[in-house]
Chain A
Amino acid sequence: MKSLRLLSPLLLATALVHAADLLESDYYKITTFPTPKETALEVGSIELLPGGKLALGTRRGEIWIVSHAEGNPANVAYKLFANGQHEVLGLAWKDGALYETNRYEVAKLTDTDGDGRADLFDTVCDKWGLTGDYHEYAFGSRFDKNGDLWITLCLTFSSHSNAEFRGWALRVKPDGTLVPTCSGVRSPGGIGFDADGEAYFTDNQGPWRGACTLQHLVPGTFQGSPPSLRWYDLASNMGPRPIAPNDRSYMVAERARIKELVPPAVYMVFGKIGNSSTFICCDLSQGKFGPFPKQIFIGDQSHSNIARVFLEEVNGVKQGVVFPFLQGFKSGLIGGRMDDGSGQLFVGGSDRGWGAKGGQPYCFERVDWTGRVPFEIHEMRAKLDGFELTFTQPVDPATAGKPDSYKAREFTYLYRQEYGGPEIDEVIPKITKVTVAPDNKSVRLTFDKLTKGHIHELHVDGLRSATGLPILHPVAYYTLNEIPK
């Protein structure tokens, strides 16, 4: 693997490999670890520890310390650090202590006698409510640039807010103070930060969510799921309670009515990208994980896959594009963490409760970049009258310049109380102009029609790289909240 990385991408691209032979696994390799026999390692959260170790929090309430996960999976070693916690869906390391987010609280775990097991469980914050419903999950982030920890709380039954702050994103200050931050959360699956430290969470398809979404957590905003609106009396920092959205409306229309409403940054198109979005991992490895620095990788528990997201800010709103990235994991992915130093991505999860592809009830796996650069759309940016695509390798100007190489479709979901929803209001735009940049690294597409609020689906099956390769994942879904002015 190391030797492969030394080869230049150009050398590989000119190796005259037949296009049809190239698979995801030629670029990214999945390694499956053996797991401790005495437990079901249903990974819910992953954190890096000093000395190359990892901590895994599980749905069964255990925290395992993992050694030697960077190399041969046969050498991996596990040690139980804590157990009996209530679903560990957040782990964060700071100043010699491990912080866990479980359903009850954020707690600081310390091993005071050095026997490798936690013996001090200091509660940092537990100022939120529970009724005892299984859906009342709590997902915790790592510490942000201010030293705060972010939490998202699932609704009761994933549809009601029957206890304090169900359906909210909260921040916990280092002194344990709780800061109500965003309302409108439904059923989160993961929480994380982009390269600039902005916080995001993934939400799941359901009432008021036509599909799973990637949501930008702008403090003070309403994220779209209304049952949480009842707790503004407990959140004076949030200002007045926003008005509730109208049922069977559109996100665009309700954004015009509700000033606090933030649209999904990206719709994780249901059935195509995934069905149950989970972890959020930004690639800060500076190229060690391949050609996508600062892009965001998102897990899926149902499809057992990872999607890739590129975000931009347009008219003050985050929005962007999602691409399929890597599939074939052994179970539904929930937790994920990239080692920014090595560029290795550690993931794990379980299929329990909602079912998953992969065939295993739980898994702990690693993704390594092989060093070979896949031919992919690198970025997709919205323009006044279309989109600009950049690529990971130079394109073949003949196929890239042909309008027939592209096929576009626009659609949206109703913003409604009913669960999920079909793709509606389809628009088939005409691509009126295609301009390939002189360096053959980007293409400018002009559409006859862009639809604000619609997801713009683009297929690029006809496109070829300068060396004749097709795009590895020739589909993109861009959520056009805003058209650039």
Chain B
Amino acid sequence: MFRSFIFATAVLLAVRAWAVEPQIINIRTLPGQMRYDVTDFLVAPGAEVRLVFENLDDMPHNLVLFQAGTDVAAVAAKNLEKPELAVKRDWLPDDPRILAHTRAVGPKAREEVAFKAPLQDGRYPFVCTFPGHAQSMRGQMQVARQGPGLTGLKFAVYLGDWKALPDFAALTPHREGAVADNLVQLKFDDYKNQFGVVFTGKVTAAKEGDYTFLLAADDGARLFVGGKKVTDHNGNHNVREMREDRVHLKAGEHDFRLEYFQTTGAAELFVAWFGEDFTTTPLSKWVPENFKDLGPKIRKTPPATMPLVVGTEPVIYRGFMANAGGRPIAVGYPGGFNLAWSVDQLNLALLWRGAFFDAGRHWTDRGEGSPPPLGYDWVRTSGEAAPPFAILPTAEAPWPRSERKAADMEIRADGYQWKGYALDEKRFPTFRYEWGGVKVTDRFDVQGEATAGGKLVRTLKLAGPIPANAWLRVGVGTIQPAEGGFLVDGGAFGPHESKYLVTVEGGRIAGSNLLVPARAEIKITYAWPGGHAGHAH
């Protein structure tokens, strides 16, 4: 099916979601898609969370966070059973399992909600409880699992005036003892200056894997796990210098040894660790207040893909498309040629080769946006909102434009009428329009493969009295004669160079325009420089 809602289980890879400051979670509604832009975020147990909810959609939405395990679909369905009551609550369910919620937030409005994350790890679903919205407007807050703390923690205090960590093994402790709460801490007795401490205990890895230790110290510190030095953070420095080192541990208990020294001034020591399945867990009593590098992991919803594949017949797709003019008709031809013909410009707007178009954005959710085509070597042939034909006093005169005055949008030039298109027995389209009393048909045929020197052959036929001094504009940009025709550089847009080769009998370079006199039949060929894929780059 074509629905693309992904609620996959998140794997907590090296998550570091613990923080003292409130965690700010920004969630927005995606306009026209009935989705949140963030469907998965992670917080630390008990964290102060500030949820900033911004509704970019054109209808009201809310965000209601529930206890882990709540069937939000059932809650939303129940809400609809007594709509007259639900509407009085602005569709907020009457349900004791609500942990936090926004009010009904109107279009283009925002609201902030502050709450304390639960201590219990797990997945806490959130949903929009407006009728019908819960089907797609869902997500989850994950409360991270805390890792285990230290066990059997002991301390040994040494006295001395050092500039760096001494060899504690060669010294005699001033005082030794057990740390009752198993948290690394410095407030032993009332020593403030010229002392050192060695902590020893056990750290337990639940399973074999990589574990990361964080260490900050003022002054110096050194960490050993399993007898191996993990972090050497020696010297006299500021506590803001956070060290982060990874170690591979087998499942089971490992020796933990942390050495520390203090000369004078501030004295702080922070140690923490995180693993593949638990979040940053402090192993010290003190934690730095300015420790901000602990942002939540968020998951954005990926777009769906529905590429339209061209077989033996051309594929026609009428839909909004970037750089393709107003009311584009995209055609994917056999041979890897693709074009977009703008019904507002009544002209070829865009050429590209390779894959045709991905309808995924238009055919999921509300179909928002003007996506670019697929493929490569895009070429913009008409460049701006302008009519295909014009009567000019001289060939060098400026080409007329056709735009709305109020907004920079294309509009059909005066005197033109779009008449539609016909498909031949091979389903190749011929576009039809009228310019004054002139009936114009415009069609494209393919010669060879777009990626192997092939050409697109365009035939315009004009029936009726053709005015004097009438020209067709074939290309816009920097134009020079090349290969028996013209090389047009339409000007780069995005990553595309927009260079193409044109042949047309009677073609004439007039400033930045490639013109050809209007006549009963005009044949134009289009190809990419070098012919083969990639040469245009």
Contact = CB atoms under 8 A, between A and B. Distances in A.
Given A123-B418, A129-B411, A131-B407, A113 B318 contact: no
Contacts of B88: 422
Interface residues of B, number: 56
A36 to B, nearest CB: 14
B13 interface: no
A84 interface: yes
Interface in B1-19: 1-3
Contacts of B421: 121
A16 to B, nearest CB: 31
Contact of B422 (A59, A119, A351): A119
Given A85-B318, A134-B32, A357-B132, A352 B364 contact: yes
Interface in A319-353: 332, 351-353
Nearest to A118: B423
Interface string A98-135: 00001111010000010000111111001001111011
Contact of B367 (A271, A272, A353, A355): A353
Interface stretch (B133-141, B231-239, B260-268): B133-141
B320 interface: yes
A107 B87 CA distance: 42
Interface string B343-374: 10000000000000001000111111110000
Nearest to A108: B420
Contact of B317 (A84, A419, A422): A84
A34 to B, nearest CB: 15
A84 B318 contact: yes
A122 B59 contact: no
Given A104-B327, A353-B33, A355-B34, A121 B364 contact: no
Contacts of B327: 104-105, 126, 130
A159 B419 contact: no
Interface in B87-144: 87-88, 106-107, 131-137
Contact of B107 (A84, A132, A162, A419): A419
B315 A84 contact: yes
B153 to A, nearest CB: 54
A135 B58 contact: yes
A271 B34 CA distance: 18
A83 interface: yes
Interface in B396-428: 404, 407, 409, 411, 418-425, 427
A418 interface: yes
A272 B85 CA distance: 10
B326 interface: yes
A352 B366 contact: yes
Given A84-B317, A84-B318, A104-B343, A158 B58 contact: yes
B294 interface: no
A120 B420 contact: yes
B409 A361 contact: no
B132 A60 contact: no
A266 B228 CA distance: 79
Contacts of A131: 407, 409
B86 interface: yes
A303 to B, nearest CB: 8
19 contacts: A83-B316, A84-B318, A84-B329, A86-B318, A119-B423, A121-B421, A121-B422, A129-B411, A130-B327, A134-B32, A134-B369, A162-B407, A162-B409, A163-B404, A271-B80, A332-B132, A351-B132, A355-B34, A361-B1
Interface of A: 40, 59-61, 83-87, 102-105, 107, 113, 118-123, 126, 129-132, 134-135, 157-159, 162-163, 206, 270-272, 275, 302-303, 332, 351-357, 361, 418-420, 422-423
